[in-house]
Amino acid sequence: MKLRRSWLAAVSVAALAVPAAAVAHPGHGHANGHNKSHKVQYIFRGTYDGTSLVNVTGGNHHARKAGLVDAGDVQFDLTNTKLDVADTNADLVIDVNDVVTGDQVLVQARLPRQDPGSQPFVARHLVDQTSPADGDSTDTESDGS
């Protein structure tokens, strides 16, 4: 009988603890809930105008929603950007100087979802579609053997 009472008391305490634990973490563990602005991937497609400017003519949903497509030139910070471009100036270094004015480019940037902020946007990746990197093309020459 004593064992039955202690078991019943333990179950009662556990039943009271479960609703208290559920109330202790409102919002499913998210601090600030929906007020937090998450960063998302913006993709811009356009023509490189030189000096980190791109005349944006297309983009993903986020770029279009922010009004950055067909709105003129968008400026990017390309200092730490991963570049996929051929060595067009033959200096054996792949850098921003290899992107030629008039090239078709694709630029990726992680920016806040609701408001991308002010320009220049920090670009994560730039792909030159006019002058692709050497690794993207196939070598069809043979060595003569």
* pTM (global) more than 0.85: no
Tens of pLDDT along 73-125? 999 999 999 999 998 888 999 999 999 999 999 999 999 998 999 999 999 99
- Residue 140 is predicted with a pLDDT of 40
**Range with the poorest average pLDDT among 3-17, 46-60, 112-126:** 3-17
pLDDT confidence of 5, banded at 50, 70, 90?
confident
Radius of gyration of the chain (CA): 27
Beta-sheet strand order (sheet of 121-122): 82-84, 125-128, 104-112, 39-50, 53-59, 73-77, 121-122
Cα angle 8, 9, 14 (rounded to 5 degrees) comes to 100
CA distances from 119 to 14, 41, 54, 57 (A): 55, 16, 12, 17
What is the mean pLDDT of the segment spanning 113-140?
81
Q: What is the pLDDT of residue 24?
A: 54
Q: How far is CA 92 from CA 27, 86, 95, 105, in A?
A: 54, 10, 10, 21
Domain boundaries, the chain: 37-134
CB-CB contact of 46 with 109 (8 Å): no
